[in-house]
Amino acid sequence: MFDKLVIVGPGLIGGSLGLAVREKGLARRIVGVGRRRASLARAMELGAVDETSLDLESAVAEADLIVLATGVEMIAQQAAAVLPRMRQGALLTDVGSAKAAICRSVEKAFSVSTAAERVRFIGGHPMAGSEQRGIGSARADLFRGAVCILTPTPSTDPDGAGLDIIRELWEAVGCRVREMTPEAHDRLIAQISHLPHVAAACLVNAASDDALDLAASGFLDTTRVASGEPALWVEICLANREALLAALAALGQELNGLARALNSGDAKALEALLARAKNRRDGRL
Amino acid sequence: MFDKLVIVGPGLIGGSLGLAVREKGLARRIVGVGRRRASLARAMELGAVDETSLDLESAVAEADLIVLATGVEMIAQQAAAVLPRMRQGALLTDVGSAKAAICRSVEKAFSVSTAAERVRFIGGHPMAGSEQRGIGSARADLFRGAVCILTPTPSTDPDGAGLDIIRELWEAVGCRVREMTPEAHDRLIAQISHLPHVAAACLVNAASDDALDLAASGFLDTTRVASGEPALWVEICLANREALLAALAALGQELNGLARALNSGDAKALEALLARAKNRRDGRL
């Protein structure tokens, strides 16, 4: 499927993609690009990449697919840096979990680069992984059954040729692919990923030390995502600020409605609220 | 340890206690009391009880231990009903997850009954179980490693003789026993159980159908408790209304602080908030 695949940032997501691509025989060479020798050596040792490089710009030459699997802030910068180096017909994609900011940056880079005529960019977000991080947690089956959202934009993939290939790639490693605008992605993901993340952190911080000391499995499950890497999540939250603020406001309304029902001892309203949540969640199982 | 143990409501918690008591040989006879023949038959079939009865008042005669394992509203009523029937030296306990309301009701029943001189009551709350319910989910090892909180009060166990025995019972089935006032229990449990429960429900309800449609494992874990039985949780929330309202206010403050940091793009404040949550949660693992 690919001759030379470059994975920039072979950590949990990038490394798992490398392992899956290798297992399925989807690329002849997989090159891992990073800044830390130790992580790259580990990616090599685990079989996630065939070659490694510390130099992004030289590594992407001759690649037919470049996957940016770093943090959301880094991705936008790296896209601009690699764009002029990409060869005719090459594809660029990413795995960032806030899409509008990234896609807008890449569109801007396309608008000022002659590369725009010879390459394609398709934003992506495989919804896999956990509060763990790093190449040590990577595994070939990470994407099996996961949803991968692709957010093509007219100016970075005008004929949709790039989209078809990127869709095939993610489907080949086990994803169910969904397509939407970067803005729709951010709005929906704010509700089911970014909001639950920060709400879990707030739940932990709202609990006293004495209460935490008693915490049982229910609490630990509810707050599992709060063990994610803070720096990574700060970037995500800021990159998706508008949508996350809207989701926070929606949660605030729900919590206020619940407090009102509780305060007035309105058992019917409380039960309706809890039953609605149960039915909606159980419908997803 | 006991000659006749009566478990009122042999569901997930009561049934698991029956199974564990039987496995450890802690009682000569276990009698299950309930209102539905089918559930009682199932408890018998699974070996959680040796005998069954539909009549609470006659079943408790000659019992040396009665465990009320029904809902928080029912427990208070049942305690008042069984009290006059209890024999000299018998113990009464419960597994309700809101303790102040139950303990106050039982204290009141004690204050108007001559039984108070011959029996003891010790409130209890084994923190085990899940969003599942019913005898079908019961298992002998449910309490292994779980915290069980006991909330003795001076008027229902003046010399602490009951507390020692109830503590031994829960330790024998695998619990780590903690002792505190009913009010302290309610305050702490509101923070790590009741609040996470209603917050999970609010998270589900704050998400649109389109967003829920994309929900991945992180969201489903965060909201697992929202699949609990609504009627049961309405009772718990109302029984622990004051403490839950205080916990909701604390969560609201945390969420507001986060929204402010996000709104002003304050990466440092956001990171401090997320890092504090991660460190506090990871400290519990």
CA distance A39 to A24: 23
Please give chain A's pLDDT, 285 residues, in tens: 999 999 999 999 999 999 999 999 999 999 999 999 999 999 999 999 999 999 999 999 999 999 999 999 999 999 999 999 999 999 999 999 999 999 999 999 999 988 888 999 999 999 987 667 899 999 999 999 999 999 999 999 999 989 999 999 999 999 999 999 999 999 999 999 999 999 999 999 999 999 999 987 778 888 988 998 999 899 999 999 999 999 999 999 999 999 999 999 999 999 999 999 999 999 877
User: B114 — contact with chain A (CB < 8 Å)?
Assistant: no
How near does any CA of chain B get to the CA of A182, in Å? 14
Q: Exposure string (b/e) for A220-254, b if CB count within 10 Å is 16 or more?
A: bbbbbbbbbbbeebbbbbbbbbebbbebbebbbeb
Cβ distance of B216 and A127 shorter than 8 Å? yes
Name the amino acid, one letter, at B226: A
- CB-nearest partner of B214 from A192, A230, A241: A192
Q: What is the pLDDT of residue A195?
A: 96
Q: Which residue has the tokens 């069980």?
A: B148
Cβ distance of A274 and B219 shorter than 8 Å? no
Residues of B with Cβ-Cβ distance to A200 under 8 angstroms: 222, 277
Q: What is the pLDDT of residue B209?
A: 94
- CB-nearest partner of B212 from A248, A255, A280: A280
Which is nearest to A243 in space by CA: A180, A178, A192, A177?
A192
CA distance B83 to A4: 79
Sort strands A147-151 and A176-179 into parallel, antiparallel or unpaired.
parallel
CA distance B22 to B33: 16
How near does any CA of chain A get to the CA of B10, in Å? 22
Q: Which ranges of chain B have pLDDT less than 50?
A: none
Name the amino acid, one letter, at A22: R
Q: Where are the domains of chain A?
A: 2-180, 184-282
Name the amino acid, one letter, at B202: C
- CB-nearest partner of B250 from A206, A216, A277: A206
Residues of B with Cβ-Cβ distance to A210 under 8 angstroms: 188
How many other C-beta atoms are found inside a 10 Å radius of the C-beta of residue A161? 12
**CB B32, CB B52: distance < 8 Å:** yes
- Mapped onto helix, strand or coil, the DSSP state of residue A149 is strand
Cβ distance of A188 and B210 shorter than 8 Å? yes
Task: Kindly state the DSSP code that residue B173 receives in the 8-state scheme.
Answer: T
Q: What is the pLDDT of residue A116?
A: 84
Q: What is the pLDDT of residue A242?
A: 95
Alpha helix positions (H), chain B = 12-24, 37-45, 56-59, 72-82, 99-111, 161-172, 182-189, 195-206, 209-213, 217-222, 230-239, 241-263, 267-282
Interface residue of A13, A95, A175, A214 to substitute, partner B, most B CBs within 10 Å: A214
- Tokens at residue A249, please? 């406001």
Which is nearest to A138 in space by CA: A210, A208, A49?
A49
Interface residue of A229, A278, A282, A285 to substitute, partner B, most B CBs within 10 Å: A278
- CB-nearest partner of A237 from B230, B252, B270: B270
CA distance A2 to A93: 14
Q: What is the pLDDT of residue A132?
A: 72
Cβ distance of B241 and A265 shorter than 8 Å? yes
Interface residue of B214, B235, B258, B280 to substitute, partner A, most A CBs within 10 Å: B214
Please, which residues have CB within 8 angstroms of residue A279's CB and are 6 or more apart in sequence? Answer: none
CA distance B44 to B54: 13
Q: What is the pLDDT of residue B130?
A: 66
User: B238 — contact with chain A (CB < 8 Å)?
Assistant: yes
- Mapped onto helix, strand or coil, the DSSP state of residue B159 is coil
CATH superfamily, domain A2-180, is NAD(P)-binding Rossmann-like Domain (3.40.50.720)
Cβ distance of B205 and A273 shorter than 8 Å? yes
Q: What is the pLDDT of residue B48?
A: 97
**CB A169, CB A20: distance < 8 Å:** no
CATH superfamily, domain A184-282, is 6-phosphogluconate dehydrogenase C-terminal like domain (1.10.3660.10)
Q: Which residues, numbered 152 to 211 in chain B, qualify as contacts with chain A under a Cβ-Cβ cut-off of 8 Å?
A: 178, 187-189, 191-193, 195-211
| Closest residue of chain B to A220, computed from CA coordinates | B281
Residues of A with Cβ-Cβ distance to B265 under 8 angstroms: 238, 241
Sort strands A2-8 and A65-68 into parallel, antiparallel or unpaired.
parallel
CA distance A187 to B210: 10
Residues of A with Cβ-Cβ distance to B226 under 8 angstroms: 274, 277-278, 281
CA distance A201 to A249: 16
User: A230 — contact with chain B (CB < 8 Å)?
Assistant: yes
- Mapped onto helix, strand or coil, the DSSP state of residue B90 is coil
CA distance A268 to A276: 12
